[in-house]
Amino acid sequence: MRVHTTTVLSFSALAVLALAGCSHGSATSSGPRSSTTIPVHPDGQSAPAPTPLSSTALAKRLLDESDLGEGYTRMPQRTAGHDDVTVIDCPTLGELAGDAAAGGSLDFPRNAKASFTYAGGPGSEVAEELYSDTEDKLSREVGRIFEAMTSCPTYQVLAGGTPVTVTTQKALVARQLGDEQWSQLLTFTVGGRSSIVKQTAVRTGTVVVVVSGSPGLVDAHVRKAVAKVTAVRLTG
């Protein structure tokens, strides 16, 4: 089955980089750590639900070079592109791509993104994406996307006419991080050469943190990313 779309599933900037700007991500979920609860004031009244953050507020919560440490350089933000991509033999993923083309999936309007290279050389990239919406919508939509993407652990895409094989593998993530966690390893194979990207997503309240890139760098920085979002939120 071939499903033609006019968009790249941009759940991971680094997944796109791994396929020369034309890849789909696919993911697995470790599931929610706990159900959402509604805080109650001492007088017995329910507290107002947390409100989503603006893109400007999210940008202040992104990691920067001082957070990452010596040797990191921020990359210029790429202009959003919509490359023609064909998903082969994965109906569920194809349907999801169709939703993305129609403005669904991770099309959260409140977002901020940053990408960095490390002095270690090729393959030493890490990217962070922040999205904000209501807690219920983030949980539902991100979970839906991850579930759909795991329906085909191995599939192919045609990106600009180039065949790319994508395989996915569930990865563990510390369950004490945030309210919900998802993580995956993506292997992209093009012309006999493979590239591995790790992608970890953590929902903390009304913000989803996505850190993608070299597996070692993702593991080293995802906790920092979640901590910065939480710390800035608490301090205003």
CATH of the domain at 78: 3.40.1000.70
Instruction: Give the position of tokens 């959402």.
Output: 36
Number of domains in the chain: 1
pLDDT in tens, 188-236: 888 888 888 888 999 999 999 999 888 999 999 999 999 999 986 555 5
Among residues 86, 79, 82, which one has the least CA distance to residue 162? 86
Instruction: Give the position of tokens 């995956």.
Output: 184
pLDDT attached to residue 102: 36
How close are the terminal C-alpha atoms of the chain, in Å? Answer: 49
Residues 6+ apart with CB under 8 A from 141: 105, 106, 108, 133
Q: How confident is the model at residue 45 (pLDDT cuts 50, 70, 90)?
A: low
Q: Is residue 151 part of a domain?
A: yes
Q: How confident is the model at residue 48 (pLDDT cuts 50, 70, 90)?
A: low
pLDDT attached to residue 121: 65
Rg (the chain; Cα; Å)? 18
In residues, how long is the chain?
Answer: 236
Phi-psi region of 114 (alpha: psi -120 to 50; beta: other; left: phi over 0): beta
**Helix or strand or coil: residue 135?**
helix
Q: Is residue 36 part of a domain?
A: no
DSSP classification of residue 71? T
pLDDT in tens, 145-196: 777 777 788 888 777 778 888 888 888 887 789 999 988 888 888 888 888 8
Identity (one letter) of the amino acid at 162?
T
Domain that holds residue 97: 2-30+51-235
Whether residue 2 is predicted with pLDDT greater than 60 in this model: the reply is no
Q: Is residue 181 part of a domain?
A: yes
pTM, to two decimals: 0.78
pLDDT attached to residue 10: 42
Q: Is residue 168 part of a domain?
A: yes
pLDDT in tens, 101-128: 333 346 789 999 999 998 866 668 899 9
Q: Is residue 82 part of a domain?
A: yes
Q: Is the dihedral of CA 89, 90, 95, 96 positive or negative?
A: negative
Give the start-end residues of each E strand in 44-95.
72-74, 85-88
